[in-house]
Structure 1
């Protein structure tokens, strides 16, 4: 008894510090070549199989970067699938910043993506580019330039609404920090 150390957990293992257990733990290493980080993010190896790659967070993000949920669907099918999924999940509240937006980095809402599509812009443009594109398109169909043209007036209103959506989103982003 002279050389033994007394355990500090008094028989209650949950009182130990995190990671202070005496047993060896199995840590799966990232499946990416030459990566020694823990591979705790499973990713499917192929469609319809249960085989998985196990990546670290960095390589999991790289693996999923170009993944498009609506790939291969036309706009009508994509809209129908999004509507079906929203109706199936009607019991869960959807956050205001979340929505299926197609391409982009996920920071823009579906309304913002539609506005950018109307202005014929990429999802990752800055606000100055949005403003320039809006001005150029609005000048072409402004009611002062095309008086009495109802189609031009509707188009001008659509551009104005798109710009307002993007401007409000930009203000929210800059206000948050």
Structure 2
């Protein structure tokens, strides 16, 4: 009679997570010939086909670089698919305020990121740092300080726009809670 095996889920406290085991797991390798990396990035074998290749991240990026998502579709089908994709992604954009909020976590728009770049600030800068950087830079190129200098005037206008974009974004985040 075989010796009874001890369960993997014994004792307290549990030293492993629930449903963890010591058995070997099956790992799918990259479908690219000769690659021994883990193949966990699916890519379609052909347009509008349910069949998939499974590549490692490097080979998936190489495969997708030249991929035409709309290949083989006529103009109406392309428009219909693009509309469906936009509708699906708009749902994610609408729900973004339910996530973990905070500066530097993807809650800033592309315009806000460009404004922060112009003010030479990091993505997670708070509004006090934004205000301070704006005032310091604006003092250097203000039209009263440099009268008649067109470059300084355009730089000052850029700083004003950047500050306004960041101010509106901050007000929007405060309003959402």
Larger helix fraction of residues: 2
TM-score under structure 2 length normalisation = 0.48
